[in-house]
Amino acid sequence: MSIEFIESHRCFSGALHFCRHQSEATGTPMRFSAYVPDGEGPFPVVTFLSGLTCTEENFTVKAGAYRRASALNLVVIAPDTSPRGEGVANDPAYDLGQGAGFYVDATEAPWAPHFRMESYIAKDLQQVVAENFPVDMKRQGITGHSMGGHGALTLALKYPDLFRSVSAFAPIVSPTRCPWGEKAFNAYLGADRETWKAHDATLLIEAGAAKGHYETILVDQGGADNFLEAQLKPELLEEACAKVGQKLVLRMHPGHDHSYYFIQTFIDDHLAFHAATLLAA
């Protein structure tokens, strides 16, 4: 799969690249950033999925991840959150359309032709990273924030053959039971709520999706997050994990909000968490 390097920067002991490629899944050009440490590799990979309104730049510029990634010899991939461009459906609201792909494959008009972010992350992004960077795709972790935390959890649970470790920052743990998720799923997947269940981390865990795959799931959540009670509901994830005996480390942090100040405070912990699994013999 061909790739265009838009710009590259020396960063700690490695290089940061902004990239663009044509996606078969979305039918559009897609952008992502890739941090690659010095050396021949192959290196383990951690993918970060961003939240509502974000592009590949938000995490790349704001998270402060690359000093630790360099020290741990991790490749870090940060894709855009949706297809974009002329002819791609959109909505005036911030929580639907471009910038709000929700990491699902849409089945409803006008979203279905391009909004196929699940297939993009699980297939196209896998291929373009494997073909263009010194990576070991058998040693992958996935994490994300908010909508991207939802994506990290659900894609890890649905594709355990791809991902060996999973964590999240302030994830939407049960989109079938919050306004953001209900709005997006109704638009992208239709009114039949049965079809939504395959994209809800709590329901997937209750159905046994994590069994035998992930020793521990790490989640950090800010106690001063404006979206905590109405949208994020980490207690539902805690309940689901307790029901099936899945180990969950849920860390609540008083005073922290939903911003990238929260993410940059704990990103080193998440990278170390993934490295502990991905670098293990």
- The set of catalytic residues is 146, 225, 258
**Comparing C-alpha atoms, which of 259, 253, 245 is closest to residue 215?**
245
43 bridge partner residues:
135
Instruction: Report the C-alpha gap between 222 and 81 in whole angstroms.
Output: 22
Instruction: Report the C-alpha gap between 232 and 235 in whole angstroms.
Output: 9
30 bridge partner residues:
21
Instruction: Report the C-alpha gap between 276 and 281 in whole angstroms.
Output: 10
Q: How many CB atoms lie within 10 A of CB 158?
A: 17
Cβ-in-10-Å burial (0-12, 13-18, 19+) of 192 comes to exposed
H and E: helices and strands count for the chain: 9, 9
Instruction: Report the C-alpha gap between 57 and 157 in whole angstroms.
Output: 26
Instruction: Report the C-alpha gap between 119 and 139 in whole angstroms.
Output: 19
